[in-house]
Amino acid sequence: MSATRSTAASRSSQTITDVRVTPVAFADPPLLNTVGVHQPYALRAIVQVHTERGLAGVGETYADTAHLIRLEAAARELIGLDAFALNQVRAVIDERVSQLTVTGGDGVAGMITTASTTDRVFSPFEVACLDIQGKAIGRPVSDLLGGAVRDSVPFSAYLFYKWAAHPGAVEDDWGEALDPAGLVRQARRMLDEYGFTAIKLKGGVFHPDEEIAAIKALRAEFPDVPLRLDPNAAWTVDTSLRVAAELEGVVEYLEDPTPGLDGMAEVATEAKMPLATNMCVVAFGHLKPAVVKDSVSVVLSDHHYWGGLQRSRLLGGICETFGLGLSMHSNSHLGISLAAMVHLAAATPNLTYACDTHWPWKTEDVVKPGALRFEGGAVPVPTGPGLGVEIDDDALAELHKQYLDCGIRDRDDTGYMKSVDPTFENTAPRW
Ligand SMILES: O=C([O-])C(=O)C[C@H](O)[C@@H](O)C(=O)[O-]
């Protein structure tokens, strides 16, 4: 599709006049992950789109170097397009991205290497344009997605093994969690402070027996709270089956126990609980083989790599068609992403699992406080025009300066420090 810029003007619509991409760094505590350790900062890019009628929309995405190059290139192409013409915006981005020779930026924590580059680049611009559209017509973004079917969106307490302090870490008050007792303490605080009604443990860090013990300790402490374990494909098929047998009736789903659609399909034949993924089904092209092989029962959506909010709703429709459950994945994120996640989840009827969020781990933000809050583990859906969050210009400038000063701009696209423990380098099954 060619970009006919005059069309926007002749419809007197929301013609885009300026697009800014601002990378930021915000403090991230030393949470352990299969591929490394968070800390001291998480990187994000903030996208701001302005129109000739004085409206501004915001989006948020990853900020690895390759992704930033693509975002900047895409941003330049959007001037003169209509913020309502999202098919055209996507086509222009697709064309521009396909011309670039930049490599890398194809993964976040090594998890989405096969997700679509166009979808990842389009996503923050789509969110910003929807924010503008909502403001233009005086309706919340959830209305542009078909309307909210729930007033508030439940999230899960996302637990991590965690060091108390670590070289280079920004100080935090969560303390250490390296064993079942530490995780139970962490969960207790999460539930007390936020009221979460589901718990997810990021595993794949310690020997599976230790992680089974952690889940059983959580079950003993929180008998009625749905639990999930996600080892980020750190286990072989045999190990996955052993863990699945141990945790039968204990977890609501097991997320990415082993890599690949074939490995997951093997586990699925014997595991009694649903298998979920944000690793082997991360693009539309993966859905058919996943369904044919019967690899997974639950797909974790994530608008950052599924191509924005409208395409994430399309994912929801496909999951419904094939009888797959739908949940939602997160990476370390700020308030713009939380707002987008809430509007999307509110307007996706079959997104019935509590969504993931890294929100409790975050102490800094680029949005003005107060727009989003947790009540009983859920975020009330903003009802004002657009996304319902507003950029705090000073905070944005501050976190951009932190990005420039922190010296981790050129770390790899995982967004995590990999040098701390060399054993985390290995993304193949470890057990
Ligand atoms: O599977 C997941 O939940 C994630 O991929 C989320 C994050 O990347 C998580 O692993 C993290 O933040 O370390």
Q: Distance, CA 331 to ligand 1 centroid (Å)? A: 5
Out of 109-123, 152-166, 314-328, 385-399, least confident range: 109-123
pLDDT value at 10 more than 60: no
**Structure confidence by residue, pLDDT tens digits, 188-206:** 999 999 999 999 999 999 9
Q: Could you tell which of 28, 32, 33, 302 is best to mutate to test the pocket of ligand 1, judged by most ligand atoms within 8 Å of the CB?
A: 33
What's residue 250's pLDDT?
98
pLDDT level of residue 3 (50, 70, 90 thresholds) = very low
Nearest residue (by CA) to ligand 1, atom 13, is 33
Residue 408 in this model has a pLDDT that exceeds 80: no
Q: What is the 3-state secondary structure (H, E, C) of 262-293?
A: HHHHHHHHHCCCCEEECCCCCCHHHHHHHHHH
Give the pLDDT of residue 411.
Answer: 53
pLDDT, position 29: 92
Measured CA angle at 119 (ends 115, 120), to 5 deg:
75
pLDDT at position 34: 85
Q: Is the pLDDT of residue 414 over 50?
A: no
> Where are the CATH 3.20.20.120 domain residues in the chain?
143-391
pLDDT at residue 13 in the model: 86
Name the residue with the closest Cα to ligand 1, atom 8: 331
Please, what is the angle between helix 208-221 and helix 180-194, to 10°?
40
Read off φ and ψ for residue 36, nearest 5 degrees: 155, -150
User: What pLDDT shows up at residue 39?
Assistant: 77
Would you say residue 114 has pLDDT above 80? no
Checking DSSP bridges between strand 157-160 and strand 199-202, what pairing results, if any? parallel
Q: What is the pLDDT of residue 415?
A: 47
Ligand 1: residue of 160, 329, 359, 362 to mutate (most ligand atoms within 8 A of CB) is: 329
Q: Which residue has the tokens 């997810």?
A: 200
Q: Which residues of 63-95 are buried (b: 16+ CB within 10 A; e: fewer)?
A: bbbbbbebbebbbebbebbbbbbbebbbbbbbe
Residue 5 has pLDDT above 70, yes or no: no
pLDDT in the model for residue 419:
36
Mean pLDDT throughout 163-173? 84
Per-residue model confidence (pLDDT) at position 12: 59
* pLDDT value for 383: 98
Q: What is the mean pLDDT of the chain?
A: 91
pLDDT of residue 423: 42
CB 369 within 8 A of CB 390: no
Instruction: Please state which CATH number belongs to domain 5-138.
Output: 3.30.390.10
Q: Is the pLDDT of residue 11 over 70?
A: no
State the Cα–Cα distance between residues 126 and 46, nearest whole angstrom: 13
CB atoms within 10 A of CB 119: 25
Q: Where are the alpha helices (DSSP H) in 32-173?
A: 65-77, 86-99, 117-137, 141-144
Quick one: pLDDT at residue 27? 93
Residue 167 is predicted with a pLDDT of 78
Give catalytic residues, as residue numbers: 202, 329
Rounded-to-integer distance, Cα 216 and Cα 203, Å? 13
Ligand 1 centroid, distance to 204 Cα (angstroms) = 11
Question: Could you give the count of Cα atoms lying within 13 Å of 265 in the half-sphere of its Cβ?
Answer: 11
pTM, whole model, 2 decimals?
0.94
Amino acid at 32: L
Q: Both tokens of residue 78? A: 């959007």
Between 390 and 114, the more confident residue is 390
Residue with tokens 């190059």: 69
What are residue 255's phi and psi, to 5 degrees?
-100, 125
Percent with pLDDT over 70 in the chain: 90
**Torsion, CA 413, CA 129, CA 59, CA 197, rounded to 10:** -110
Q: What is the predicted ipTM?
A: 0.96
What is the structure's pLDDT at 54? Answer: 97
What's the mean pLDDT in 224-232? 98
Q: Which atom of ligand 1 is nearest to the CA of 330?
A: 6
pLDDT digits (tens, 9 = 90+) for 312-343: 999 999 999 999 999 999 999 999 999 999 99
Top-confidence residue, 202 or 42: 202
- The confidence score (pLDDT) of residue 171 equals 80
Contact by Cβ (8 Å): 431, 53: no
Q: Where, residue-wise, is CATH 3.30.390.10 in the chain?
A: 5-138
Q: Where residue 302 falls among pLDDT bands split at 50, 70, 90?
A: very high
Tracing tokens 């995590």 back to the chain, one arrives at 416
Give the tens place of pLDDT for each residue, 239-268: 999 999 999 999 999 999 999 999 999 999
Q: Is the CB of 413 under 6 A from ligand 1?
A: no
Q: Which fold has domain 143-391?
A: TIM Barrel (3.20.20)
